[in-house]
Amino acid sequence: MSSKITVDLNETLESISDAPSGDPHKLLFMAVIFQAMLDATKPETDNESAEAILERGRSRSWLFAQVGVTATDFVTICDLAGVDFNQVRHFANQVINTGESTFIRRKINAILNHG
């Protein structure tokens, strides 16, 4: 993958993760978003469980649904996290479709485990 894509994704991730500004409630909802990103980008394996496949699909549906309760829940969680849902959705789409998920998964895990 090109370094430009990695830099752009890294900058977007930093922008999204900086949004909560230390507010514990916003950090909680940001963790929900990041966990969905981790679940949606979990690498597929030959012997993965049906549950893992289901959770990957559910996470992707939650991130990308445009209508219905799932879409409303996503927008609400982004609002509560203090981030723009369109930016999060665009970022998730980039991560999944650029092949940079391993890099981003490491960054998200570092953010979630920091502190």
The span from the CA of 83 to the CA of 80, in Å, is: 8
Each residue's pLDDT tens digit, 25-58: 888 888 899 899 899 988 889 999 999 999 999 9
Q: Give the Cβ contact number of residue 64 at 10 Å.
A: 15
The span from the CA of 94 to the CA of 28, in Å, is: 23
Task: Tell whether the torsion through CA atoms of 9, 102, 51 and 35 is positive or negative.
Answer: negative
The span from the CA of 23 to the CA of 83, in Å, is: 13
pTM for the whole thing?
0.78
Please report which confidence band the pLDDT of residue 17 belongs to, taking 50, 70 and 90 as the band edges: low
Q: Give the Cβ contact number of residue 66 at 10 Å.
A: 8
Residue 22 DSSP SS3? coil
Each residue's pLDDT tens digit, 78-107: 999 888 899 899 888 888 887 778 888 888
Whether pLDDT at 15 is above 60: yes
